[in-house]
């Protein structure tokens, strides 16, 4: 599978960059991101390896730093900066948890991370296959990747509202977890495991739903209708979401969200056995010192 074939042609790349910049500079972290980070962190004790170098590729909106610090207090923590979303200037009235050291992509040396973590970021990237290859390169042998992302089962209620009103696409399609598993294998990862869960979120009214939905993302589909939306259009959208068939309970509109989780390891390179096999000294060292997972 080539990086080009695994790209997402249905997304507007410029809109994706603007979206990541807005999310990383937002005053409040999305609740769903924090919840996904908590659920991922609950899985960390299942991994025997105790990483000494942690690289967080979630962006500022990943809401992950406290969970990673709690799980690995003695590790070196770094966070990959998004070139499309440079760090916002520090302001004394914006108090956030202590952030790990920020690094750029060219500062991440091959094999420099024991754990690479990405929470709710992969679905806002245009070329997931290329990103997975870079993640694999950044991991040390026997290091592991953990990530979460939105799956294609997300927001079917919103899609139905848009179709009923002929408003185009409400969002770009998300990558299926089976395709992500194939991408992990093609990127060189070993023992990829994918799973998902479906959450139903509800709000007291449609205005609260729309406010939180904006905090989670934006419509970056190339098939979205062009032009600005009016207050009248927004009111029609809110009224449609407030309809009884979108309710999770009395008077509470709801949306379904599919959370997809993945984890995999970077295995040592195993040379193919031939009558005469040449193995580099670095590869031999990696094979003999490979720890247990």
For position 1, what pLDDT does the model report? Answer: 47
Considering only residues 82 and 138, tell me which one the structure prediction assigns the higher pLDDT.
138
Question: What is the residue extent of each domain of the chain?
Answer: 13-151+174-199+258-288
Q: Is the pLDDT of residue 96 over 90?
A: no
User: Reduced to 3 states, what is the DSSP secondary structure of residue 247?
Assistant: strand
Considering only residues 89 and 46, tell me which one the structure prediction assigns the higher pLDDT.
46
Mean pLDDT across the chain, nearest whole number? Answer: 87
For position 278, what pLDDT does the model report? Answer: 63
Q: Helices 128-138 & 177-186, crossing angle to 10 degrees? A: 50
Please give the Cα distance from 39 to 37 (Å, whole number).
Answer: 5
pLDDT range class, residue 228, cuts 50, 70, 90: confident
pLDDT range class, residue 277, cuts 50, 70, 90: low
Burial class (CB in 10 A: 0-12, 13-18, 19+), 35: middle
CA distances from 291 to 18, 51, 150, 272 (A): 42, 11, 32, 21
**Whole-number percent of the chain with pLDDT over 70:** 81
Please give the Cα distance from 55 to 138 (Å, whole number).
Answer: 9
Please give the Cα distance from 238 to 231 (Å, whole number).
Answer: 10
Over the stretch 233-251, which tens digit does the pLDDT of each residue have? 999 999 999 876 655 555 7
For position 269, what pLDDT does the model report? Answer: 75
pLDDT range class, residue 5, cuts 50, 70, 90: very low
For position 16, what pLDDT does the model report? Answer: 94
User: Reduced to 3 states, what is the DSSP secondary structure of residue 108?
Assistant: coil
For position 184, what pLDDT does the model report? Answer: 97
What's the mean pLDDT in 194-198? Answer: 97
Over the stretch 108-117, which tens digit does the pLDDT of each residue have? 999 999 999 9
pLDDT range class, residue 162, cuts 50, 70, 90: very high
Can you read off the two tokens belonging to residue 151?
């799956």
CATH topology of domain 13-151+174-199+258-288: Rossmann fold (3.40.50)
């Amino acid at each position: 599978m080539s990086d080009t074939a695994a790209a997402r042609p249905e997304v507007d790349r410029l809109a994706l960059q603007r979206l990541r910049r807005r999310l990383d500079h937002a005053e409040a972290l999305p609740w769903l991101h924090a919840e996904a980070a908590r659920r991922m962190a609950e899985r960390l004790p299942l991994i025997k390896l105790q990483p000494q170098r942690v690289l967080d590729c979630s962006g500022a909106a990943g809401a992950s730093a406290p969970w990673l610090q709690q799980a690995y207090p003695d590790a070196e923590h770094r966070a990959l900066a998004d070139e499309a979303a440079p760090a916002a200037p520090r302001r004394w009235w914006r108090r956030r948890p202590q952030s790990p050291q920020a690094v750029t992509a060219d500062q991440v040396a091959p094999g420099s991370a024991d754990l690479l973590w990405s929470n709710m970021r992969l679905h806002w990237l245009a070329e997931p296959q290329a990103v997975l290859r870079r993640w694999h390169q950044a991991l040390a042998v026997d290091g592991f990747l953990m990530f979460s992302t939105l799956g294609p089962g997300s927001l079917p209620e919103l899609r139905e509202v848009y179709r009923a009103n002929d408003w185009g696409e409400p969002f770009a399609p998300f990558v299926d977890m089976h395709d992500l598993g194939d991408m992990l294998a093609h990127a060189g990862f070993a023992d990829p495991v994918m799973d998902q869960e479906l959450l139903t979120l509800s709000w007291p009214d449609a205005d609260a739903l729309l406010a939180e939905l904006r905090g989670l993302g934006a419509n970056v589909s190339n098939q979205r209708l062009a032009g600005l939306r009016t207050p009248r259009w927004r009111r029609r959208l809110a009224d449609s979401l407030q309809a009884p068939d979108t309710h999770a309970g009395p008077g509470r509109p709801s949306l379904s969200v599919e959370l997809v989780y993945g984890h995999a390891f970077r295995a040592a390179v195993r040379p193919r056995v031939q009558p005469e096999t040449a193995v580099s000294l670095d590869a031999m060292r990696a094979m003999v010192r490979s720890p247990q997972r």
